[in-house]
Amino acid sequence: MLFRSVLMTGSPCCGLNAKDRTGVLAFLRPSAVYSPGGSLLGVPADLAGWLGRNSHLRSGRPSRIVVGGVAGTELDVSFASATVLGGCAHLFRVSFGVVRLCRGERARVGVLNVHGKQLLIFGQATPASHADVVYRSFRSILRTVRFGAVRAAGRVRSLILGSSNPTSDDELFFAREAARRSGGTLEISLRSNLYGEAATNEQNVIRDLVAGRLDLAWDPTRAWDLEGVTSLRALQAPFLVDNFPLLAKVITSPLADDLLSGSRAKGVVGLGLAAENLRRPLGAKKALASLDDFRGVRINVIASELSDATMRALGAQPMSVGAGRLLGDAFAFGRLDAAETAIEAVYSNGYARVAKHMTRNVVFYPKVIAIDANAAAFAELTPAQRTALREAAEATAARSTAAAAARDKADVAALCRAGLRFPRATSAQLAGLLAAVDPVYEALARDRLTARLVAEIQALKRQTAPGPGLALPAGCST
């Protein structure tokens, strides 16, 4: 169980939701600990005792805790001083990065011995003044935990799953499902943020998968057209898949197999698709709602031939500066006017500090994840393990759109408080945008499979209610 906030740097919550009471509860197996001097050491045999003696922490009296029938030790810790690595008290190295406490932060930590290995339960509340309230919620969650028995049947196969983004809840769900459905014979190790914020990070992950340097990849479908795979382009057709109910139907329907079919020629097995977000225009100084608004605008686009073609058809000037800090700096120093991005990306990267307008009903296309396997690595698995991976991907697809919609709902409220506004394009403006991308659809129609997939998605769209759309707090639309 891992709430997505634990994947953020530093405090579990950033300034955008500083007025909220929020929490992080994580089950972790540290691979190393930080010494007072900042070097990495092996995990001590008495992890709870090590925490209590850590000179960079203030610790409370240890107490007994029982989770899932397993007894352990629990204690409260808070920041006392920073390690030489700077700013915070660095504690543990885990699969997705570093666990640390910064000034003013506190946490409740439990240590259990589960199947002969130390398991760390890390709970943190923000703001710290609401810790007791949040910790009571954690207690309720911990009462539901059950630890399964160790399964020794079958040889355990470890697979590396690579991603260019921070580890997501859906990735963690997929890894857990694969382990569960394989009877414990599959173990998936997550490698996140590969290639940093570079504009080519998604392509590089795909190339690592094709070359066999990764067993599995969590790769955005938009990047495959740069590698010569065209079957996924229907997902990127402009203004086609523009709501979560439609996206849910597309990625859980038989269409998914056809969409993934093009990567087979690259030595890749497509296991399934997962929804990540919907892409909208974010403007630094103005909203982008009409063709006039797009004309001449320098707009950041995550690397994709089709995305570039769409922006050019709208009269904009596509650029590719990367994401995260690179994109924020480009906005701050006036090198960009706009970006095609997502609500959750604006929230997690703090873009609302430098760009103030996101047109809520202009959705270019979705960001969809292809859950892929290297064909050679996949062939080495047992039939039961291959089935487990496919079933885990299918289960991930089924949950991913609802999770993405929930993130948008939560993040919109925080972004409104941060000053971001969500104006609405008129029906006439939307019609003008759609007419402008006719040349993009003409180009897509030259590929027989893509033309069929676009037509089938259009038919599915006519049968699917788009849902209620974004729910905005009062005063957030203008």
Do 167 and 255 share a domain, yes or no? yes
* Predicted local distance difference test score (pLDDT) of residue 2: 32
Phi and psi of 333, rounded to 5°? -100, 10
* Predicted local distance difference test score (pLDDT) of residue 369: 98
| 151 is a domain residue | no
Let me know: does 19 contact 417? Beta carbons within 8 Å: yes
CATH of the domain at 221: 3.40.190.170
Two structure tokens written together for 6? 């634990």
Do 118 and 244 share a domain, yes or no? no
* Predicted local distance difference test score (pLDDT) of residue 16: 34
CA 174, distance to chain mean position in Å, is 13
Q: For residue 252, what are the contacts with CB-CB under 8 A and spacing of at least 6?
A: 394, 397, 398
Two structure tokens written together for 358? 């996101």
Do 193 and 217 share a domain, yes or no? yes
The C-alpha atoms of residue 287 and residue 299 are separated, in whole angstroms, by: 12
Establish how many alpha carbons lie within 13 A of residue 95's alpha carbon, considering only the half-sphere containing its beta carbon: 20
Two structure tokens written together for 295? 């004309």
pTM strictly above 0.85: no
The number of domains in the chain is 2
Do 36 and 125 share a domain, yes or no? yes
Domain holding 88, by residue range, is 4-142
Let me know: does 344 contact 277? Beta carbons within 8 Å: yes
User: Tokens 């079919």 identify what position?
Assistant: 261
CA 335, distance to chain mean position in Å, is 26
Do 163 and 251 share a domain, yes or no? yes
* Predicted local distance difference test score (pLDDT) of residue 357: 96
Phi and psi of 342, rounded to 5°? -130, 160
> What does the pLDDT profile of the chain (478 residues) look like in tens digits?
333 333 333 333 333 333 444 567 888 888 888 887 778 888 999 999 999 999 999 999 999 999 988 999 999 998 899 887 667 888 888 866 788 888 888 889 999 998 888 999 988 876 666 677 677 777 878 887 888 765 545 578 999 999 998 888 999 999 999 999 999 999 999 998 898 888 899 999 999 999 999 999 999 999 999 999 999 999 999 999 999 999 999 999 999 999 999 999 999 999 999 999 999 999 999 999 999 999 999 999 998 999 999 999 999 999 999 888 899 999 999 999 999 999 999 998 999 999 999 999 999 999 999 999 999 999 999 999 999 999 999 999 999 999 999 999 989 999 999 999 999 999 999 999 999 999 999 999 999 999 999 999 999 999 999 988 888 888 888 7
Two structure tokens written together for 318? 């596509």
CATH of the domain at 49: 3.40.1000
Two structure tokens written together for 21? 């009471």
